[in-house]
Amino acid sequence: MTAFAQIIIIGTGFGGLCMAHKLKEAGYDDILILEKAHEVGGTWRENTYPGAECDIPSALYSYSFAQNPTWDYKWAKQPQIFKYLKDFATDYDLRRHIRFGVSVQGATWMENISNWTIQTDQGELSCRFLISGVGQLHHPKWPNIPGRESFKGDTFHSAQWDHDFDLTGKRVGVIGVGASAIQFIPEIAQQAKKLTIYQRTPNWVIDKGDRPYSRIEKWIAKRFPALANLYRFGLWFQGEFIIYPIIKGAPLRAALARARNRSDMNKHISDPKLRKILTPDYPIGAKRILFSDKYYEALARDNVELVTEPIKEINATGIKTTNNNFAHDVIIYATGFYSNPFLKELDIQGRNKATLVDHWQNGAFAYLGVMTAGFPNLFFLYGPNTNTGHTSIIFKLEQEVGYIIKLIRGAENGTVEVGPEAEHAFSEEMQTRLSKLAWAKIDESWYKDGDKIPNNWPGSSLEFKKRLKTPIWDHFETT
Ligand code: N01
């Protein structure tokens, strides 16, 4: 017989763990969490590249109900965030709900019994409510560059770092200059004999102003939680009222941010040619604004070269650009993740065996990011149109978790499903609003799928919180 749990959650990242804890707090205990790996942590378990750290200030990058007063740095490093999640799973008694080493392959809605059957590499399971906590940035993206397989040296992706490969004294090529690359480039520049960075599009980079927290600051945060909360609120406020207006295209805010970028760049880079190729020609905020104190400094090193000529091919010895050949011992792909199609590795079949892949063939959408019509009792955490460029995703995950619990309660152990009209109206609203923001001003980014922007939320996080406070039951059907 298929093992049954009332609620199954896929993934143990920030979303899945928060969901499980809050469900337990709400009185649910028949919860199973499926995790393909052998430890919790999601993105913070997977991404271990040198220099991996958060680009949201630590004080904001934690659950509101489990703040950590002892972050070592203003911007927490990966090992400490990973530890935070491991400790959270233990301290909140979540581990007994987790089945490690179980990879979910698909799920099928069983109309006759109103349950989901989950297919995994370890056999079938079933549940009444299924919650995806797999996030948006899960599968490393390898670029389609001719000859990629012919390279004879070592090769790895930033999200699957080969820690056994010693970069000391090596000729290293890095493809990509996104959020991941700018964190590890300053670290490996100190080891490599020669570091060649292939930049297709420059990014807007602003100093982080990182520093360790002093013992007295940690003591204050621990002893006076109200002050820690106030500090957290200040960080949230900055994202909401300084960075979000840039994405909305507020001219003064955008001009100030560009001036800040120029001043930070000029501090580290004196070569006008290098400054020029590092300056984006697209609106600030159109791609994620990057924060680093060390990236520009690393680019100014004698052993580092920034190449902007397009890559033509990869061959046995290295990378060929339009006019040059570069020999490498190792090529590191910092080329991001497959963000679309959403949940592409999962074969999910809803009512009438309709697949999620077909349902989302023209770009993913979901009502408030959490439910899509035709797939009853299926919920998404960090789903379509919930990503943000200006604040902590954990803030939004908490709103989603609260909302999903209300929907599960509303279903009274039967079914809940969003109506197609409400979802359609919501999706139209999203794309109309998104088309006016900075994200729409460039042709490609991981936020986009063709002309649509299926990943991002167009509003403030305060608006998100308000809209997810109480379900509008007219938009749902419950049985
Ligand atoms: O990936 P990216 P990432 N030839 O997609 C280039 C989160 N994150 O892993 O811009 C040459 O941003 C591509 O070039 P272009 C965060 O949300 C969070 O760095 O497409 N280059 C780009 O430079 C972030 O936004 C943290 O022209 C190619 C790079 O590869 C998201 O993850 C830390 C290419 C990809 O950049 C993704 O960041 C790190 C090709 N064929 C990441 N294909 C935190 O701190 C791609 N590129 C929370």
The tokens describing 140, both together, are: 């490393």
Task: For ligand 1, atom 39, name the residue with the nearest CA.
Answer: 180
What's the pLDDT band for 189 if we cut at 50, 70, 90? very high
SS3 content of the chain, % helix, strand, coil (to 5): 35, 20, 45
Helix axes 225-238, 215-223, angle to 10 degrees: 110
Predicted confidence (pLDDT) per residue in 403-415, tens digit:
999 999 999 989 9
Q: Which of 45, 49, 137, 180 to mutate to test the pocket of ligand 1 (most atoms within 8 A of CB)?
A: 180
Helix (H) or strand (E) holding 306: strand 304-307
Q: Which of 183, 243, 335, 337 to mutate to test the pocket of ligand 1 (most atoms within 8 A of CB)?
A: 335
Nearest atom of ligand 1 to the alpha carbon of 333: 30
Burial of 93 (0-12, 13-18, 19+ CB in 10 A): exposed
Does the pLDDT at position 37 exceed 80? yes
Task: For ligand 1, atom 16, name the residue with the nearest CA.
Answer: 179
Count of C-beta atoms within a 10 Å radius of residue 274: 17
Is residue 116 within 8 Å of residue 110, measured between CB atoms? yes
* Residue matched to tokens 């792909």: 333
CA of 242 from ligand 1 middle (Å) equals 23
User: What is the model's pLDDT at position 289?
Assistant: 96
Residue range 53-82: mean pLDDT, rounded: 96
CA of 181 from ligand 1 middle (Å) equals 7
Residue 247 sits at the vertex; the CA angle it makes with 339 and 200, to the nearest 5 degrees, is 55
Q: Whole-angstrom Cα distance, residue 63 to residue 41?
A: 14
Residue range 292-313: mean pLDDT, rounded: 98
Domains with residue ranges and CATH for the chain = 4-40+94-139+338-478 (3.50.50.60), 148-211+225-333 (3.50.50.60)
Maximal C-alpha separation, the chain: 69
3-state secondary structure 334-365: CCCEECCCCCCCCEEECHHHCEHHHHCCCCCC
CA of 348 from ligand 1 middle (Å) equals 28
DSSP class per residue in 152-205 = -SEEEEGGG--TTS--TT-EEEEE--SHHHHHHHHHHTTT-SEEEEE-SS---E
399 lines ligand 1 (CB under 6 A): no
169 lines ligand 1 (CB under 6 A): no
Nearest atom of ligand 1 to the alpha carbon of 387: 17
CA of 371 from ligand 1 middle (Å) equals 28
Residue type, 89: A
User: What is the model's pLDDT at position 1?
Assistant: 52
User: What is the model's pLDDT at position 169?
Assistant: 97
What's the pLDDT band for 148 if we cut at 50, 70, 90? very high
Task: For ligand 1, atom 8, name the residue with the nearest CA.
Answer: 179
Q: Comparing C-alpha atoms, which of 363, 371, 468 is closest to residue 415? A: 371
Predicted confidence (pLDDT) per residue in 249-284, tens digit:
999 999 999 999 999 999 999 999 999 999 999 999
Residues 6+ apart with CB under 8 A from 430: 365, 385, 453, 457, 458
Helix (H) or strand (E) holding 129: strand 123-132
Burial of 322 (0-12, 13-18, 19+ CB in 10 A): exposed
CA distances to 260, 379, 402 from 406, in Å: 43, 12, 6
CA of 297 from ligand 1 middle (Å) equals 20
290 lines ligand 1 (CB under 6 A): no
Predicted confidence (pLDDT) per residue in 82-140, tens digit:
999 999 999 999 999 999 999 999 999 999 999 999 999 999 999 999 999 999 998 99
| pTM metric for this prediction | 0.96
User: What is the model's pLDDT at position 228?
Assistant: 96
Task: For ligand 1, atom 7, name the residue with the nearest CA.
Answer: 179
Percentage with pLDDT > 70 across the chain: 100
Does the pLDDT at position 344 exceed 90? no
Is residue 255 within 8 Å of residue 261, measured between CB atoms? no
311 lines ligand 1 (CB under 6 A): yes
Residues 6+ apart with CB under 8 A from 177: 185, 197, 199, 200, 201, 202, 203, 334
